[in-house]
Structure 1
Amino acid sequence: MQQLNEILSLIDSYIGGSNWFVALLLLTGLFFTIYLKFPQIRYFRHALDVVRGKFDEKDDEGDTSHFQALATALSGTVGTGNIAGVALAIHLGGPAALFWMIVTAFFGMTTKFVEVSLSHKYREKTPDGTMAGGPMYFMKNKLNMKWLAVLFAIATVLSSFGTGNLPQVNSIASSIHATFGVETYITGAILAVLLAFVILGGISRIAAVTEKLVPLMAVVYFIGCVAVIFYNIENIPSSISRIMSDIFSGTSATGGFLGASLAYAFNRGVNRGLFSNEAGQGSAPIAHASAKTKEPISEGMVAILEPFIDTIIICSLTGLALLSSNVWREKLDNKFQQTDLVVLSQQYDDSKENPNNDREILAKHISGENKLPLYTGSLEVVNGEILSPISIIHARSLAENVSIIYEDAKFTGKLNVTEGKIKFLDKLQIHGKSLIHSSPLTSEAFKRSYFGEKGKYIVSIGLLLFAFSTAISWSYYGDRAMTFLLGPKSVIYYRGVYVASFFIGSFADTTIIWTLSGITIALMTIPNLIGILILSKDMKSSLAEYKDHMKNKFGADI
């Protein structure tokens, strides 16, 4: 597993984790924002009117209403990215990562407006009478680039597992296990059965479920976030100040947090921002293609609201809850994951008072600026305590109170280590204090609220609703991609594999799943961004025609 994660991380470093990918994403949003004269601001009120059905026409063709399409697309984006993804971004990049997530969302509002409008314009009706759309259709029907369409569709199928399936159920199962003690595979099995029931009903049943789930989960999670923020209200000014002060400097070491560079905060903030709202990824246009309307731009208007709701509102609330509660920089008791753990060949002390400046030395190691020597050899362990003079880095922090457990008892013996990696035995566990990340970090923050320990239940329930709805929507994205690639008959086989993977993902390694998600996101995003940039003039002329139509038909001057 460790070797697989290293291979996946290497691949991701050249695409989704690279600076050029981040630049492509942001510059595309910036270009369209300027080219179309800030549509995310100018048309925001109009977008609200469209989603309310103010401009619906009786002969509109499609399978879902504007609101159902929005709910389905939101259910695909509002998921672990809002709970676990924000926590991971702050864990990796510090408070400034939240700022870059919001910036990504602002420009992402325009990107999503463009990709949804173009995809809806070139959608098709399938042999079974349902609508099919998405970037692969404008690539094929307008650009005459079937090869690019095929590449995007294949990436969509892969991403349905890497974005909508595996990380979602893994976060649900981990949270339910931490909160209620239910084994991860049991949670996975129950949810897999429920998932199969929903997705076998097609887009009609999916839309019917998501339009009820999305408002419910938003209210539940909003209450939880507000309870944390107001409970720690005295920390809000300092949290906002830290976000703003770290934007162009990075975050210095504080508490157990060993610091993060400006480049890392920027990269992780944009990367996690994309994972959260999926602007530019080309996924939401597949859901919006089912909406009933003759005017593609009107559905693009609806899509403007998605990054605003998903990232600017929900992710900001999560971020403020994490920062105001201070859990992001505190070492907490947890079970160490093998992929987050490395053994250094010397002992270090990260306390602020340490005269050897070990904190700065460790910070440079974490950032990759100056790597420290890794340990190779045998660790002597007596009654669970490591006697060898080494240090353990776990979750980008110096671990404390480390205890080795084997078959539920304190371990005595030797552990083999090769280049900093411990060779885990079956039933071996390593416990201790370190930073935590992803959904467990958000769960810890929610305990520091008016709800006390019961606050963790809100995260578990919210994560269950968010992530399950995301899995539902992504199954639809995947089956539309399979329809494009191999025809409608292939969908039933895809759904079977999707449900089986949903079960397996409940007990798979978290770190590997997050790494995989980064790769599949990039594989979808790159061809989609290339396509919409080529069609920029088409988009501008379509917008002009739409404005004329709204003025002549409804007297609406937008």
Structure 2
Amino acid sequence: MHRINDFLAGIEIYLGGSLWFTLLLLGTGIFFTLYLGFPQFRFFGHALKVVTGKYDKPGEKGDASHFQALTTALSGTVGTGNIAGVAFAIFLGGPAALFWMLVTAFLGMTTKFVEVTLSHKYRETDEKGFISGGPMYYMKNKLHMPWLAATFAAMTIFSSFGTGSLPQINSISSSLYSTFGVDKMLSGGILTVLLAFVILGGIKRIAKVTEKLVPAMAIIYFVGALSVILYNYENIIPSFISIFSNVFTGTAATGGFLGAGFAYAFNRGVNRGLFSNEAGQGSAPIAHAAARTEEPVSEGMVAILEPFVDTIIICSLTGLVILSSGVWKEKLPNRFQDTDMTILTGTYNDTVKADQSKLFNFLSGKSEIPLFSGNLQVKEGMIQNKVSVINARSLAEDVKVYDEEGKLFTGIVAVENGKNEDENGVYFKGESLMHSAPLTAEAFTRSFLGDWGRWIVSIGLLLFAFSTAIAWAYYGDRSVTYLFGAKGVLPYRIIYCIAFFIASFADTTIIWTLSGITIVLMALPNLLGILMLHKDMKTTLNTYWDKFKKEHPKKA
């Protein structure tokens, strides 16, 4: 597992963790925002009218209404990123990472408007009579670049696992296990059966499920989040200040948090923002292509609402819950994952300025600290060697070692280059920072809800993440259809469900790293494609408004 994680992390640092991709993503959003005259402001009100069906015409081609297309696309974006992803971003980059998530969303409103409009404009009808759309169709039909279209479709299939299947069920099973003690394999098995039932029904069944799930889960989560924020009302203003005060400087060490530089907060905020709202990734256009309308721009208008709901509203709520509760900088009891843990030679104290600086530079990759290799001598769970344990980017405290039966361990634990190499099932527990869904779950307990707050996170995550897995199964099978025809859909769905089950008990850190890789590989061809079609986009938009003004002279 260590070698797999190190290999994937080595790739991810040049992709999702890189500055060049971050600048490409934000640069595309900035370009279209200026080029099209700030459509996220100008067209927001019109988008609300379109999604309610105010301008619908009878007999238009498509498989879903505007609202169903929006909720299907939202079900693909409102998921783990809103609960676990925000927590992961703050855990890595501090409060400033949330600011960059919001910037990504603001610019993403324009990016999504463009990609959905162009994809809808060049959609097709497949051999079974269903609408097929997405970036691969504008790449093929307008850019006449079938190789780019095939590349995008292939990367969408990979990303359907990296974005839609693996991290979703992993977060669900981890949350259910930490809250209710439900075995991860059991929850994975039950949800895999439910997933198979829904996705085998195709887009119409998916649309019917998501139009009910998305509003319900949003209301539950919204009420729970507000209860935490209002309970910690004295921390609301300091939380807002922390988001904006360290935007260009990074976050200094505080509590168990050892600090984060500007570049790290910037990259991780943008990366998690993309994972959350998927603007520029090219996924949502596949869902919007099914909408019943002959006007591509009108569906693009609807897409403007997605990053607003997904990131600016829901992610902001999650971020304020985590920041106002203070849990993001607290060391909390938890079981350490081997990939999150590193054992150092010698003892360190994170309350001592010199040690704090050494640990920060080590975690930032600026300097090295000797890693422990050899045998750890353990007696009744207590490590006898002079070592320090880093877990979840923090110096762990009260560390104890347990055997596979959950009893305090006595014996020898093999360690190589700071990593646990023991094959007898021993594991470590103690107090350290937490990340992802468990961090958000802990934050929700810091209110009058108490431990009941975990229920809201677990149920919200269950609905959020499960609906995301449903939507991404549709994105994947549309790409399979494009590459291999309808005959490839059933085998793909079977593989998708199998991977969904396996990920329920797989290593969380590896899954998040893999996710970062697949997101970038899918987004790259789409971003390049829409940039090449910027003139087509502007012409299409102007034509739409000219036609709209003639048909609705009093509303234009």
Q: TM-score range by the shorter chain?
A: over 0.9
- Cα pair 1:547 1:557 within 8 Å, conserved: no
SS in structure 2 at match of 1:216: helix
Q: Give the 3 Å change call, closer, same or farther, for CA 55–556 of structure 1 in structure 2.
A: farther
- Cα pair 1:382 1:411 within 8 Å, conserved: yes
Q: 1:179 — aligned with what? A: 179
> How is 1:508-547 mapped onto 2 (pairs within 5 angstroms)?
508-547=506-545
Task: Kindly state the Cα deviation for residue 427 of structure 1 after the two structures are TM-superposed.
Answer: 2.5
Q: 1:244 — aligned with what? A: 244
Task: Kindly state the Cα deviation for residue 556 of structure 1 after the two structures are TM-superposed.
Answer: 5.5
Note if 1:430 corresponds to 2:428: yes
Q: 2:448 — aligned with what? A: 450
Cα distance in 2 for partners of 1:105, 1:254 equals 28
Q: Where has structure 1 moved over 4 Å in runs of 4 or more?
A: none
Q: Which amino acid aligns with 2:396?
A: A
Cα distance in 2 for partners of 1:532, 1:357 equals 49
Q: Which residue, out of 498, 511, 515, partners 2:496?
A: 498
Note if 1:482 corresponds to 2:480: yes
- Cα pair 1:22 1:270 within 8 Å, conserved: yes
Cα distance in 1 for partners of 2:196, 2:8 equals 29
SS in structure 2 at match of 1:414: strand
TM-score (norm 1): 0.99
Q: Which amino acid aligns with 1:426?
A: N
Task: Kindly state the Cα deviation for residue 380 of structure 1 after the two structures are TM-superposed.
Answer: 1.3
Tell me the alpha carbon deviations over residues 219-277 of structure 1, each in whole angstroms, 9 at most, x when there is no partner.
00001100110000101111111111111110000000000000000000000000000
SS in structure 2 at match of 1:452: coil
Task: Kindly state the Cα deviation for residue 557 of structure 1 after the two structures are TM-superposed.
Answer: 5.3
Q: 2:363 — aligned with what? A: 366
Q: 1:203 — aligned with what? A: 203
Q: Gapped runs of 5+ residues in structure 2?
A: none
Q: Which amino acid aligns with 2:520?
A: A
SS in structure 2 at match of 1:4: helix
Percent identity at matched positions?
Answer: 63
Q: 1:28 — aligned with what? A: 28
Cα distance in 1 for partners of 2:358, 2:10 equals 25
Q: Gapped runs of 5+ residues in structure 1?
A: none
Cα distance in 2 for partners of 1:449, 1:220 equals 16
Q: Which amino acid aligns with 2:525?
A: P
TM-score (norm 2): 0.99
SS in structure 1 at match of 2:343: strand
Cα distance in 2 for partners of 1:556, 1:26 equals 36
Task: Kindly state the Cα deviation for residue 424 of structure 1 after the two structures are TM-superposed.
Answer: 2.9
- Cα pair 1:188 1:503 within 8 Å, conserved: yes
- Cα pair 2:73 2:284 within 8 Å, conserved: yes
> How is 1:305-344 mapped onto 2 (pairs within 5 angstroms)?
305-344=305-344
- Cα pair 2:415 2:422 within 8 Å, conserved: no
SS in structure 2 at match of 1:393: strand
SS in structure 2 at match of 1:264: helix
Tell me the alpha carbon deviations over residues 21-65 of structure 1, each in whole angstroms, 9 at most, x when there is no partner.
000000000000000000000000000000011110112110000
Cα distance in 2 for partners of 1:292, 1:445 equals 41
Note if 1:70 corresponds to 2:70: yes
Cα distance in 2 for partners of 1:554, 1:493 equals 48
Cα distance in 2 for partners of 1:510, 1:22 equals 24
SS in structure 1 at match of 2:164: coil
- Cα pair 1:120 1:296 within 8 Å, conserved: yes
- Cα pair 1:550 1:556 within 8 Å, conserved: no
Cα distance in 2 for partners of 1:344, 1:39 equals 52
* Bigger Cα displacement from structure 2, 422-431 vs 494-503: 422-431
Cα distance in 2 for partners of 1:113, 1:144 equals 22
> How is 1:32-111 mapped onto 2 (pairs within 5 angstroms)?
32-111=32-111
Q: 1:463 — aligned with what? A: 461
Cα distance in 1 for partners of 2:476, 2:44 equals 30
- Cα pair 2:136 2:152 within 8 Å, conserved: yes
Task: Kindly state the Cα deviation for residue 426 of structure 1 after the two structures are TM-superposed.
Answer: 2.9
> How is 1:102-501 mapped onto 2 (pairs within 5 angstroms)?
102-351=102-351, 354=352, 357-406=354-403, 407-501=405-499
* Bigger Cα displacement from structure 2, 266-275 vs 378-387: 378-387
Tell me how large the CA RMSD over aligned residues is.
0.8
- Cα pair 1:47 1:302 within 8 Å, conserved: yes
SS in structure 1 at match of 2:504: helix
Tell me the alpha carbon deviations over residues 126-156 of structure 1, each in whole angstroms, 9 at most, x when there is no partner.
1111100000000000001000000000000
Tell me the alpha carbon deviations over residues 373-421 of structure 1, each in whole angstroms, 9 at most, x when there is no partner.
2111221111111111111100000000000001322111222211111
Aligned length: 555
Tell me the alpha carbon deviations over residues 502-553 of structure 1, each in whole angstroms, 9 at most, x when there is no partner.
1111111111100111111011100000000000000000000000111011
Task: Kindly state the Cα deviation for residue 555 of structure 1 after the two structures are TM-superposed.
Answer: 2.0
Cα distance in 2 for partners of 1:186, 1:375 equals 36
Task: Kindly state the Cα deviation for residue 425 of structure 1 after the two structures are TM-superposed.
Answer: 2.7
Tell me the alpha carbon deviations over residues 424-480 of structure 1, each in whole angstroms, 9 at most, x when there is no partner.
333311000000000000000000112111010000000000000000000000000
SS in structure 2 at match of 1:431: strand
